[in-house]
Amino acid sequence: MHDIAVFGAGYIGLVTGACLAQLGHRVTVRDIRPDRVDALRRGEVPIHEPGLGDLIAGNAERLRFTLDAEEALRTAEVAFVCVDTPPSASGDADLSRVWSVVEDLRGAPRLTTVVMKSTVPVGTGDRVRVALDAAGMGHVGYASNPEFTAEGTAVRDFLNPDRIVVGAADQEVAALVARLHRGIDAPVQEVSVASAEMAKMAANALLATKITFINEIAAVCEATGADVEEVAAVVGRDHRLGPHFLKAGLGYGGSCFPKDSRALRAIASNCGLPLPLLGAVIEVNDLQARRAVARVRSELGGLRGRQVALLGLTFKPGTDDMRQAPSAVIAARLLSEGAVVTAWDPMAPELTDTPWNQVERKDDVLAAVADCDAAVIVTEWPELHDVDWGKAAEVMSTPLLFDGRNLLDPADQAGHGFTYMSVGRATARQC
Using the rule CB under 6 A, which residue among 13, 141, 167, 254 binds ligand UGA?
254
Residue 287 within binding range of ligand UGA, rule CB under 6 A? no
Contact 74, 38 (CB under 8 A): no
Residue 381 within binding range of ligand UGA, rule CB under 6 A? no
Tell me whether residue 212 or residue 419 sits nearer to ligand UGA (CB atom): 212
User: Residue 378 Cβ, how far from ligand UGA at the closest point, in Å?
Assistant: 10
d(CA 278, CA 12): 25
Residue 197 within binding range of ligand UGA, rule CB under 6 A? no
Distances (CA, A) of 127 to 130, 132, 267: 5, 9, 15
Give backbone dihedrals phi and psi of 149, rounded to 5 degrees, phi first. Answer: -90, 140
User: Residue 314 Cβ, how far from ligand UGA at the closest point, in Å?
Assistant: 9
Residue 266 within binding range of ligand UGA, rule CB under 6 A? no
User: Residue 330 Cβ, how far from ligand UGA at the closest point, in Å?
Assistant: 13
Residue 258 within binding range of ligand UGA, rule CB under 6 A? no
Using the rule CB under 6 A, which residue among 28, 119, 419, 422 binds ligand UGA?
119
Tell me whether residue 29 or residue 205 sits nearer to ligand UGA (CB atom): 205
User: Residue 150 Cβ, how far from ligand UGA at the closest point, in Å?
Assistant: 4
Using the rule CB under 6 A, which residue among 257, 344, 389, 420 binds ligand UGA?
257
User: Residue 360 Cβ, how far from ligand UGA at the closest point, in Å?
Assistant: 24
The answer to whether residue 256 is catalytic is: yes
Tell me whether residue 149 or residue 209 sits nearer to ligand UGA (CB atom): 149
Residue 246 within binding range of ligand UGA, rule CB under 6 A? yes
Distances (CA, A) of 45 to 10, 40, 255, 323: 10, 6, 19, 19
Q: Which neighbouring-strand residues pair with 165?
A: 189
DSSP string computed for 226-288 = --HHHHHHHHHTSTTT-STT---SS---SSSHHHHHHHHHHHHHHTT---HHHHHHHHHHHHH
Burial class (CB in 10 A: 0-12, 13-18, 19+), 287: middle
d(CA 368, CA 383): 14
User: Residue 304 Cβ, how far from ligand UGA at the closest point, in Å?
Assistant: 29
Residue 213 within binding range of ligand UGA, rule CB under 6 A? no
Contact 49, 154 (CB under 8 A): yes
93 CA to centre of own chain? 16
Distances (CA, A) of 11 to 50, 52, 303, 351: 11, 10, 38, 20
User: DSSP 3-state assignment of 74?
Assistant: coil
Tell me whether residue 29 or residue 339 sits nearer to ligand UGA (CB atom): 29
Using the rule CB under 6 A, which residue among 86, 91, 236, 245 binds ligand UGA?
245
Q: What is the pattern of x (binds ligand UGA, CB under 6 A) and - over residues 146-175?
A: -xxxxx------------------------
Residue 10 within binding range of ligand UGA, rule CB under 6 A? no
Residue 315 within binding range of ligand UGA, rule CB under 6 A? yes
**Residue closest to 229 by CA, chosen among 21, 423, 429, 18:** 423
Residue 80 within binding range of ligand UGA, rule CB under 6 A? no
Contact 174, 198 (CB under 8 A): no
Tell me whether residue 129 or residue 210 sits nearer to ligand UGA (CB atom): 210
Catalytic position from the list 19, 256, 372, 431: 256
Residue 8 within binding range of ligand UGA, rule CB under 6 A? no
Contact 357, 329 (CB under 8 A): no
Tell me whether residue 330 or residue 393 sits nearer to ligand UGA (CB atom): 330
CA angle at 131 for the pair 130 and 135, rounded to the nearest 5°: 115
Residue 316 within binding range of ligand UGA, rule CB under 6 A? yes
Residue 144 within binding range of ligand UGA, rule CB under 6 A? no
d(CA 363, CA 311): 11
Residues near ligand UGA (CB under 6 A)? 119, 147-151, 204, 207, 211, 245-247, 249, 252-254, 256-257, 260, 315-316
**Residues noted as catalytic:** 256
